[in-house]
Structure 1
Amino acid sequence: MEFKYVKQLKDVTKRDFLLVGGKAANLGEMLQADLPVPGGFVVLTNAYKRFVEANKLEAEINRLIEVAKTDDFQATNVASEKVKEAFEKGEIPADVQAEVEAIYSNIGNPEVAIRSSATAEDLPGISFAGQYNTYLNVRGKEQVYLYLKKCWASLWNTRAVSYRIKQNIGNDGLAHGVAVQKLISADRSGILFTANPVNGRRDQILINSSWGLGEAVVGGDVTPDQWVVDKETCNVIEETIAEKKVMTVKREHGIELVDIPEKRQKQSSLKDSEVQELCKLAIAAEKYFQEPQDIEWAYMGGTLYLVQTRPITSLFPVPEQRADRRGLRIYINANLYSQAMKEPFTPMGGYVIKSMLEGLVNRYGRKNYKGDRLWWYKNVGGRIYVDMTEILATEKGVNKLKNNPSDKDPVTTKALLQVLARNEQQVKDSAQGFSTLGKLNWRVMKLLASSMRRFFHGVVSPQKARIKAVNTGEQIIQQLKTESKKLKSMEEKLRFIESKSTDLFVEGFGIVLYVAVSSTYIDKAKKIMEKYLGDTKNLYDVEKSVPYSVTTEMGMELLEIAKKLDRQKKRATTDEFEVERFLDKYGHRASIELDVGAVTWKEEPQYVLDLINSYIDSKTYNRGIENFVKGKVEAEAAIQNIKKRLIDKGYNKKAKEVEKMLVNFREMFGIREQSKFFVRQFLTIFKRVLTEVGEELVSQGRLKQASDIFYVTVEDIRSDKDLKLLVYANKEEYQREFNRNAPKVLTSTGESVFAPIEESDGNSLSGVAVSPGVYEGKVRVLHHPEEGHKVEKGEILVTIGTNPSWTPLFLKLGALIMETGGPISHGSVVAREYGVPAVAGVANAATVLKDGQLVRVNGETGRVDIL
């Protein structure tokens, strides 16, 4: 008989994906690899389409999709139930039925497992685990028909539809295959992962096992036994035998969850030899599929079967290993560590940063260096990771980290040292030594001399240094604009991006050197006060409402716009003169500050409009303006109070010294925000030049739209290839990484550390105290500043980390909790300026804390109490 709607699993390969769905394609590949997989057949996706068409179900499905887009869970659930009912009432066309009956008869009409196999399943980076239905112990053709329809209907269950919308996967044109496998009446079953999904390690296998069929393990009804196994030797590293209270067993029809006899509850469900056998099969499966696998397995009468596999999608990528840097390597996430940037770079954004670094080490490194100067740089999942192995292998490097943890992100330092403690000898064995810039040369000496001149400007004349910093930045930007407008050919424009990238760092960040001395003044004043007064009372009030900060000024302008528009009974729109003027001045800014591919506020002003309108709605503009003025008065009063206390104690000379330091601090410190302001202008000029290149590539037919240029690199452009498919793949990859949290510390084995191990009493979280004050209020968890309109006045913002684009939100906050950052990270400094109590470095805060939860933030002890 010629089959049109069914196919034997043994004849299926990954090339049949659209015809059979993800699960069946994987099962077919497993059989191709001679892995012990139960045989069976697949009902093809065209049978699903034939059924939908014959029963006129398209209209009901379309109604469900439209309802689901509204994000109304209850309505989606009702619509989904109607679709399910329509599927189960539908008639399977006679030609489809005949083929299913024939192929089922060919395999002996056995008891079978019926598994959904969708074309929207097991996609790269998206597992769909548990979204669709599986039915065990199905007997006879009538039952097969019934559960076939139930599987088809599960394509449209509420969780699957919602999941696809969340993952930006279209609901149009989907089709469902169904795998029908001979049932394995398992006495033991479970799941194994060919890489450890808990810690990300690719050199470990994780095995879960329990009694009976696998449904109890997969469904989370039982706590399974667990083994962590070394992948190279198959030796057990860790074994946990659980108390297994229930198991899934086969009944005459279907399955049932029953109690496990007491004497077997604490018995190991696997022998040592079986753990070894599972390990070897796991390695074989991973080798065949060439990526880590999530495998369901079953033992029946001493014989092992693998019943399905899918890629593990939750693993963070592993840094590519260099031939000259073997062994265990340890990396830190520079995006989070130095910039509190949780998002990935676009491909072009990453290329610009790498060009900047290459230019830096080539410009100032020693001549004739033969090695790769950027051996320590890795772009992993769109984030920049820095290889710390050589530093961690030296006593001097470790002591520096222990004794002087970074003020930017001490939590990452703590996690890094914990990873080192577990792997100290391996790190020492892996170290190769390093030389990137080499010994001091005349180019470095010249840079240092220039830097020192800028630094001493601030020491000698704070006011002139502040003005010089701003003027220098503006001159650099103007010069860059002039040069960029003279560029003609595509190659000239690409060389401009590469050659000027280094200036982005040297010039853009270099202007902060004019006022760098100001960052030492608070610490110096603190030491004097502790020594001569015995306390630091009022010192941190000096940081409130610091003048000359472009970011603070930006926030004030937003408040003034809101105030003016509200008086006129207007809403913020791009047609309003004040909004237009604001975007002309600040429109180059973006939520992701250092990525040339980031969308700017000028391009998409909705974030700015939402902020202004939220100030209008909450009437917080007067409070924000008044708080800033009040903070300025309090800061100036604090300086005089500290001075007076020292004079009263008889320390007149110290009183004048501290006063001068604190006055100079306020004169210069606000300028630290100017460098980011200029760097973002730099990148906006780059963006315009690259967009021009993009327009030329569109005219050549190599890109669909000019903005696609940010999803390729300069090297890709020079390849002369059609870039449209590459853009499509890179956009998908970027979206996957954008939705993923990246670890603070990463190793070459794949171990991913998101937070250091902390002790907790269960009702509190601990972090780093970064802005004084105690505040109780309701939590508001945000992941992007564009969500800022959700924040109500007085709420406690909980997020991963902040950059300048978050600043306007601070005016509404009661307190701030961040997963990343330290005392001098952006959010911490702004919080102190605005008098907002804040705690940074709170591990998993954005996951543990929930919207509406009442918490107490203590910005003096670093503690967050859940009330």
Structure 2
Amino acid sequence: MIRYVLPLAYKQATLEMVGGKGISLSKLLTAGIPVPDGFNVTTSSYQIFVEKNHIQPHINKLLDGIDFNNTSQLEDVSTQIGILFHNGEMPEEVSASIKISYAGLGNIAVAIRSSATLEDLHDASFAGQQETYLNIQGENEVLAAVKRCWASLWTARAIAYRVKKDIKQEVVALAVVVQKLVFSDASGVMFTLNPINGRRGEMIINAAWGLGEAVVSSLVTPDTIVVDKNLERIVSYEAANKERMTVRTSDGTEEILVPERLRKKHALSWNQVMQLTQLGKKIEKDYQMPMDVEWALEKDKLYIVQARPITVLPPEWVLPEKGVIYTKGSLAEHLPNPVTPLFATFGLEIVNRASALLWVDMFGKSAKKLMPENGAYTIINGYVYLSAKSKPLLIAVKSFSPQSLRRVLTNSVTRWEAARKEFEFVIKQWEKKLLYKLNSHQIMEGIQTVFYASCIYFTRIQLTLPAASISETLFTKLFRRTARRIGMTDTSVFLFGFDTIALQAEKNLWSLSEWVKQNSTLNLYLKNNPSRKIAEDFMSSVMPTEVLQDVWIEWKNRINQYFKDFGCTAYEFDFAYSTPQEALTPTLESIKTFLEGKGESPFLRQFTFEKRRKQAEEKILEHMGSARKKLFLKLLHWAQETVPMRENAIYLMGMGHPLIRRMFQEISERFIRGGAISHLDDIYWLTKSELEALIEQVDKNMSLSHMSGIIPARKAEFQKYLGYVSPSKLPEKNKKTISHLSRKDGKIVLMGIGTSAGIVTAPACVLNSPEDFEKFQPGSVLVAVTTTPAWTPLFASASAIVTDIGGPLSHSSIVAREYGIPAVMATRTATRKIQSGQMIMVDGSMGTVTFNE
């Protein structure tokens, strides 16, 4: 017998019959959780409606051959499917069953919610994919709302989500939950773990006035309550300014302004928070997993209206050692992504060895009191953190003693040049060696030597970079007021236009593009082909037929010379990442941008800044007395000498990476020949001990251990880590973490540090690595975890910069100010929250990034 309608409390209900939401409510009722009364319209009702109105064949035809990545196509198809459902006739047996069950509720106002068969599962929540309709009253209105729910199975976002999850479109079906509408005085959501920091012992409750729609639709910033669920005590209660609320009207719902007296008042009392906590603990225990729960409060009675598993569990950021502070500073800032197994077990060991010398140099005998057991750098959930025992007074005394300051601030440029020459010497010594003549142990020795030199270079520049930061800060602080009096709003004009290595590289690419314009066949070829195709042709022994042979040879020679002069750098300090010499597409994209006239001439930009700088110097000197003028010139020359040094020093951090990558490649090729691995880059997914064992086997002509089988799991774990939002500091405080993101007027507002003024609204382009450079569209907002000097060519065509980490003196900030585009740093989550193509507003003065959810 076909059941078209079932009571919510029907214990034999299955997922296939009532969908995820229906089965969840049935489970809650069975466990004694207070759930509003109601019934399920089963999937059988949906199926007979679709069958009798011949809808599925039309859907299949509409979906056949469309581009599922094309939003406008999906929206158009979705609209056409919606019309099919609207015009479809409800079968008599279905409508009669619904009318009888609705009458049994007393013909009252109800909430009607979609309940898909693939919804609220432990690995795919489908949250927000289908529709909910509130305050529906009258049997005809209920029937119409049920049809609208059925149609919402075919919204553009629901179709796209199923494609992403590789779920066949023809197997889905939809049930509908019809429930008594709770006339909520307050409502909200509850997570039975802390989704911000992953702490399993904490719950977070969001609460606002009125119906819950304002909270789940982000129309209001709710109160945020953090609860210690084991001790059942409130850790913190942040009362938001709740400006709007959803209320019931005669024909639905509407958003109204909250009365002034209630806006900052707590939406929940202590007793109500404790009741919710107890309900949350019971639900979590019954489901045996963390849950996302929607609740409503009516006349001091709490109801649970929905509960679903939290499908993506945030990590718990467990500290490796007590009494230690972990930050994303120093070298960790140049390792913004999770690190590969080889860097974690081999590279970081060398980093810590070099860092230990720096600490002794900086802190003397006190280094032991500050250094954690794991070393200066450690890994938490795949991410590298700088760590130190929490003795801030000792660090301050040692770091800011007159002797330490004098050593750090004097002769910084000379000391940097000496460090660079020593680093270059090591690289040149190993570049002379023919790798194929060395055994694997010898090549490994070379890798260790060159990477250790990289780390020593980094520790050496740590004692030179502060001079640049302090000189700029002092100069700005002392002369900002004078500059403003004569109409200068930004003192950074005094520090722009210098010939850094990054600028020299950009000028080289500009000159190369100007040469290309003089060769029509090459110019046309570069404009008409994507960068990946050009890169493939470049690496091939067969030249493209549309370009003259002598021009192609000259083109390759010029590109190779560019990499010889400027390719000795790295996008990221983990040596598993390709260098500019290997990843040709970013360089080619920069050239194509110049060819298409979308990038400003770096020569003209430098000339303009030099002119402005000299004019500014002359102007400000006219308004100074002789004593102050002397101080001004001394600080100005110091800043102008050290600030370019900072950019050059960081640019060369990865100078050894191209050689290290070639040496790893030589070893990797030997592993592939022996059957140990399948691809060149597989070597980076091995651990140090596994690598050393294979090297031993290769050099002794033994059969190699097969390692390919373990690599997919490690790559999957890396992808899991990549989805985490790594806190900038551990341990972190709840208040600081929660306040980093807010909602206003239905929009998400990410708060960071404004480091370059201006306001721009433009589509975002999220770049996770240099491999994504070819996706960048001129005029887009560049969104990245961080950037290094090797990213500079992109700034010429970006409208604004947004990063997860960084500060006013980071590379991204400095270059953004020089290019005159807005920049917001330290948003923490921009690369996770923002989608490429999404319109965002970047306010570099306020330090905010605003966009629709």
Distance 1:665 1:301 in 2: 66
Distance 2:821 2:244 in 1: 47
- Residues 40-49 or 299-308, more deviating: 40-49
SS in 1 for 2:294: strand
Distance 2:655 2:243 in 1: 61
1:604-643 matches, within 5 Å, as 605-618=584-597, 620=599, 623-628=601-606
Distance 2:218 2:662 in 1: 53
Distance 1:239 1:513 in 2: 42
Residues 664 and 125 (structure 1 numbering): CA distance in 2 closer, same or farther, change over 3 Å?
A: farther
Give 1:308's match in structure 2, choosing from 301, 306, 309.
306
Distance 1:304 1:288 in 2: 18
1:143-182 matches, within 5 Å, as 150-161=148-159, 168-170=164-166, 172-173=168-169, 175-181=171-177
More RCO (CA 8 Å, sep 6+): 1
Match of 2:328 in 1: 333
Distance 1:142 1:716 in 2: 69
Say whether residues 1:395 and 2:399 are aligned partners. Answer: no
Residue 854 of structure 1 deviates from its aligned partner by 9.8
Residues 264 and 5 (structure 1 numbering): CA distance in 2 closer, same or farther, change over 3 Å?
A: same
Match of 1:804 in 2: 789
Q: Deviations over 1:241-285 (max 9, x none)?
A: 968865348x8xx96569999999899876654432211111233
- Residues 3 and 99 in structure 1, CA contact (< 8 A), matched pair in contact too: no
- Residues 85-94 or 605-614, more deviating: 85-94
Residue 295 of structure 1 deviates from its aligned partner by 0.4
Give 1:676's aligned amino acid: M
Distance 1:222 1:528 in 2: 43
Give 1:821's match in structure 2, choosing from 806, 831, 847.
806
Match of 1:186 in 2: 182
Unaligned runs of 5+ in 1: 408-450
Residue 564 of structure 1 deviates from its aligned partner by 1.5
SS in 1 for 2:190: strand
Match of 1:684 in 2: 661
Give 1:557's match in structure 2, choosing from 508, 516, 536.
508
Q: Deviations over 1:679-733 (max 9, x none)?
A: 4325634763686599589x68x98x77677677678999979447735743652
Say whether residues 1:506 and 2:452 are aligned partners. Answer: yes
SS in 2 for 1:509: helix
Q: Deviations over 1:94-146 (max 9, x none)?
A: 9xx899969x9899899886543446655779754322123568899999887
Residues 565 and 734 (structure 1 numbering): CA distance in 2 closer, same or farther, change over 3 Å?
A: farther
Give 1:506's aligned amino acid: Y
1:24-173 matches, within 5 Å, as 26-27=24-25, 30=28, 35-36=33-34, 43=42, 51=50, 55=54, 57=56, 60-61=59-60, 63-64=62-63, 67=66, 69=68, 71-73=70-72, 75-89=73-87, 115-118=113-116, 121-122=119-120, 128-135=126-133, 150-161=148-159, 168-170=164-166, 172-173=168-169
SS in 1 for 2:374: coil
Q: Deviations over 1:594-614 (max 9, x none)?
A: 344445556654333322111
Give 1:730's aligned amino acid: E
1:475-494 matches, within 5 Å, as 475-476=429-430, 482=435, 486-487=439-440
Unaligned runs of 5+ in 2: 361-367, 527-533, 538-551, 692-704, 743-748
Match of 2:384 in 1: 384
SS in 1 for 2:129: coil
Match of 2:728 in 1: 744
Match of 2:426 in 1: 472
Residues 630 and 287 (structure 1 numbering): CA distance in 2 closer, same or farther, change over 3 Å?
A: same
Give 2:586's aligned amino acid: Y
- Residues 741 and 751 in structure 2, CA contact (< 8 A), matched pair in contact too: no
Residues 831 and 512 (structure 1 numbering): CA distance in 2 closer, same or farther, change over 3 Å?
A: farther
Say whether residues 1:753 and 2:747 are aligned partners. Answer: no
SS in 2 for 1:608: helix
- Residues 783 and 800 in structure 1, CA contact (< 8 A), matched pair in contact too: no
Give 1:726's match in structure 2, choosing from 713, 719, 723.
713
Give 2:328's aligned amino acid: N
- Residues 435 and 663 in structure 2, CA contact (< 8 A), matched pair in contact too: no
Match of 1:374 in 2: 374
Match of 2:202 in 1: 203
- Residues 293 and 311 in structure 1, CA contact (< 8 A), matched pair in contact too: yes
- Residues 55 and 84 in structure 2, CA contact (< 8 A), matched pair in contact too: no
- Residues 355 and 459 in structure 2, CA contact (< 8 A), matched pair in contact too: no
Residues 710 and 678 (structure 1 numbering): CA distance in 2 closer, same or farther, change over 3 Å?
A: same
Taking only the aligned residue pairs, the percentage that are identical comes to: 21
Residue 807 of structure 1 deviates from its aligned partner by 1.0
Give 1:206's aligned amino acid: I
Residue 825 of structure 1 deviates from its aligned partner by 2.8
Match of 2:518 in 1: 567
Give 2:454's aligned amino acid: G
Residues 823 and 120 (structure 1 numbering): CA distance in 2 closer, same or farther, change over 3 Å?
A: same
SS in 2 for 1:297: strand
Residues 291 and 709 (structure 1 numbering): CA distance in 2 closer, same or farther, change over 3 Å?
A: farther
SS in 2 for 1:306: strand
Q: Deviations over 1:820-849 (max 9, x none)?
A: 4346533355568x6768867476897999
Residues 119 and 692 (structure 1 numbering): CA distance in 2 closer, same or farther, change over 3 Å?
A: farther
1:515-664 matches, within 5 Å, as 519=465, 549=501, 551-569=502-520, 570-571=523-524, 572=526, 573-574=534-535, 575=537, 576-577=552-553, 580-581=556-557, 582=559, 586=563, 592-598=571-577, 605-618=584-597, 620=599, 623-628=601-606
Give 1:183's aligned amino acid: Q
Distance 1:145 1:175 in 2: 24
Give 2:293's match in structure 1, choosing from 292, 295, 312.
295
SS in 2 for 1:618: coil
- CA RMSD after TM alignment: 6.7
Match of 1:426 in 2: none
SS in 2 for 1:594: coil
Distance 1:169 1:813 in 2: 33
Residues 287 and 501 (structure 1 numbering): CA distance in 2 closer, same or farther, change over 3 Å?
A: farther
Say whether residues 1:783 and 2:766 are aligned partners. Answer: yes
Distance 2:111 2:45 in 1: 21
TM-score normalised by structure 1 residue count: 0.65
Give 1:374's aligned amino acid: N
Residue 208 of structure 1 deviates from its aligned partner by 2.0
Q: Deviations over 1:273-308 (max 9, x none)?
A: 443221111123334556543201346787654332
- Residues 740 and 750 in structure 2, CA contact (< 8 A), matched pair in contact too: no
Residue 76 of structure 1 deviates from its aligned partner by 3.2
